[in-house]
Chains A and B, each alone.
Chain A
Amino acid sequence: MNQFDKAGIPSVLVTAIPSLAESLGVNRIVEGGAVTHPMGAPDVPSIEEQAYRAQLFELALSTLKTSVSGPTVFTLDQTA
C-alpha cells in the first residue's frame, strides 16, 4: 500500500482489521465488513448488502480527496 503512496498515487485500503493497517503505516484506512469479505455483508438480504457496499465504496472514494497526515481510520458511522 505504501508503495502506491510512494509513487504518488493516492490509495485507500478497505480492511476489517484497521488497527493492523494502522500499525503498518497505511495512511488511508476504511473499516470494512469482515476478514472474509471486506466489502460484503453476506448475512443480510442482497439489496441491503449492495447498499452497504456502495456506502463503503463512496466512503473510500471520499477519503482519497481528504488530506491525512498519517494513518487514519474512517468508518461508516463517523461523520467526517
Chain B
Amino acid sequence: MKVVHYLNQFFAGIGGEEAADHPPEYREGPLGPGVRLDELFGGSAQVVGTLLAGDNYFSMNHAAAMEVIEGLLRASGGEFLIAGPAFNAGRYGLACGEVCSLAVDRLGMPAFIAMSENNPAVELHRAKVPILRTSESTSGMGQALEDMAAGTRAYLGSDGDWSDASPLLISRGIRLNEVSPSRGSTRAIDLLLSKIEGRPYSTEWPLPEYDIVQPSDLEVTNSQPLLALVTEGGLVPTGNPERLNSGRADRWFRYPVQSMDRLLSEEFDIIHGGIDTTPSNENPNRMVPLDTARELEPNGGFSLHEHVYSTTGNQGSMPAMRKIGDEIAAELHNEGVHAVIATST
C-alpha cells in the first residue's frame, strides 16, 4: 500500500513559526517522523512520499490551497494518506483535517489523522476522518508512531474496515447502519431479559450526553437590563433573502427591530422545515414575541435590544448548533446584552 504522509513545516524540517506560510510541496520518500513510521510498517505499507505545508497556508487562500493539494496528491500516486501526528497543535491539526477531508471527498482515498483527543480540530473532522489518539505533547512521539503503524495494519488487514483499529481511535461521534446477525425483535427481547434478570446490558443507541452548565441569575439592580430575543424557529425577512436553511442550518442572522412595535406578517416569514409554519406565518409574534416585549418594555423593568436573532433548529447538527450559540453569545456579550428570552419549536 502506497502511503502519502502529511507533515507541517516543523516536522518536515523546514523551520518553525517563521516558516508557517510555506507553500505545499511533495517530496519523494519519508521525512522526519515518517522515516520511523515507514520502518514500523515492515513492508505492509510504504511511505512513498511526503506532502508538507506550513500551518498557516490554508488560512491564506483556502480554495486555491485545496486545488494545489489535490493536484499534488493525485500526482503522487499514493493510495492512502496519513497526517500527523499533530498532538495538541491546533493549526497543524486543522491542516491535517483539511488535507484528509479532501483526500476522502475528492479522491476517494482512505485517510486518517493522528492527534490528541483535545486538539480543537477533533470536533470538526472526526465524523469524516478517523482520528488516532496520541498523547498531548510530542514526548509521546514513539508511541504515536507505533499506534499509527498498528492502525494502518488493522485497516489493511480487515479489507478497508476501521473496526479492528477502533481501540486506537477517538470516538467519531457518528453512527452508521449495519446488518445484524439477528432481527430487531429478537434483540429487543434478549436485551429486556438481561435487564430484568440483572445481567449486564447495553443499549444499541446511546442517549446524547449534554454539557451541564451552571446558569447565572439576572441581577436585580437599578439599571434596566438589556434583553434580547432569540429564536430557532427560522424567522427571516419575507422571501428569505439570505437563504437561511429550513433545516441543517449553519448560520444565524440578526434583524433590526428598533423601529418596530411588532413583527408584521408581510415583512417576516417563518421557515422552519420541521413544522407547520402557518400559525406563525400568520403572526410571527407567535414565534418571536416582539409585540409583547414592546408592550411590557415601559414598565417591565427591562429594555429591549435593537436586534432579534434567528436560526433554524430543524435537524441541526450539534457541532453546528454549538458554534451558532457561541457566536450569538459572543455578539450579545459585546453588545452588552444581559439576558435572553429564546423560543424553539
Chain B residue nearest in CB terms to A72: B215
Cβ contacts under 8 Å, B24 to chain A: none
Cβ contacts under 8 Å, B286 to chain A: 33, 37-40, 42, 53
Q: Decide: A27 near B289, CB < 8 A? Known: A10-B339, A11-B341, A39-B343.
A: no
Chain B residue nearest in CB terms to A57: B292
B275 A38 Cβ-Cβ under 8 A: no
- Measured between C-beta atoms, what is the minimum distance from B68 to chain A in Å? 36
- Measured between C-beta atoms, what is the minimum distance from B250 to chain A in Å? 15
- Measured between C-beta atoms, what is the minimum distance from A31 to chain B in Å? 12
Cβ contacts under 8 Å, A66 to chain B: 217
B239 located at the interface, meaning its Cβ lies under 8 Å from any Cβ of chain A in the complex: no
Q: How large is the interface on A (under 10, 10 to 19, 20 to 34, 35 or more residues)?
A: 35 or more
B291 located at the interface, meaning its Cβ lies under 8 Å from any Cβ of chain A in the complex: yes
The one of B293, B300, B328, B343 in contact with A14, judged by C-beta atoms closer than 8 angstroms, is B343
A65 B291 Cβ-Cβ under 8 A: no
The one of B279, B337, B344 in contact with A9, judged by C-beta atoms closer than 8 angstroms, is B337
The one of B215, B287, B293, B330 in contact with A40, judged by C-beta atoms closer than 8 angstroms, is B287
Q: Interface code A29-65, partner B: CB below 8 Å = 1, 0 otherwise?
A: 0001111111110100000001001101110110011
| Secondary structure type dominating chain A contacts | mixed
A37 CA to B341 CA, complexed, in Å: 15
Chain B residue nearest in CB terms to A51: B292
A35 CA to B215 CA, complexed, in Å: 25
Cβ contacts under 8 Å, B210 to chain A: 2, 23-25
A4 B289 Cβ-Cβ under 8 A: no
Cβ contacts under 8 Å, B291 to chain A: 50, 53
Q: Which of A5, A34, A64 has the most CB of B within 10 A?
A: A64
The one of A4, A16, A56 in contact with B340, judged by C-beta atoms closer than 8 angstroms, is A4
A9 B342 Cβ-Cβ under 8 A: no
Q: Decide: A5 near B277, CB < 8 A? Known: A11-B340, A12-B342, A60-B341.
A: no
B216 A10 Cβ-Cβ under 8 A: yes
B285 located at the interface, meaning its Cβ lies under 8 Å from any Cβ of chain A in the complex: yes
Tell me the B190-223 residues at the A interface (CB within 8 Å). Answer: 207-208, 210-218, 220
Q: Decide: A12 near B345, CB < 8 A? Known: A5-B216, A25-B213.
A: no
- Measured between C-beta atoms, what is the minimum distance from A70 to chain B in Å? 7
- List 30 A-B residue pairs with CB atoms under 8 Å apart, sorted by A's residue number: A2-B213, A3-B325, A3-B326, A3-B328, A4-B328, A4-B332, A6-B213, A8-B216, A9-B216, A9-B332, A9-B340, A13-B344, A14-B342, A21-B344, A27-B213, A28-B215, A34-B279, A36-B277, A37-B286, A38-B233, A39-B285, A42-B282, A53-B285, A53-B291, A56-B292, A61-B341, A64-B217, A64-B341, A65-B220, A66-B217
| A-B contact sample (11 more), CB < 8 A, given A7-B329, A11-B342, A53-B289 | A2-B325, A4-B332, A5-B216, A6-B213, A7-B333, A8-B216, A13-B343, A27-B213, A34-B279, A53-B291, A64-B339
Instruction: List residues of chain A with CB under 8 Å of any chain B CB.
Output: 1-16, 21, 23-25, 27-28, 32-40, 42, 50, 53-54, 56-58, 60-61, 64-68, 70
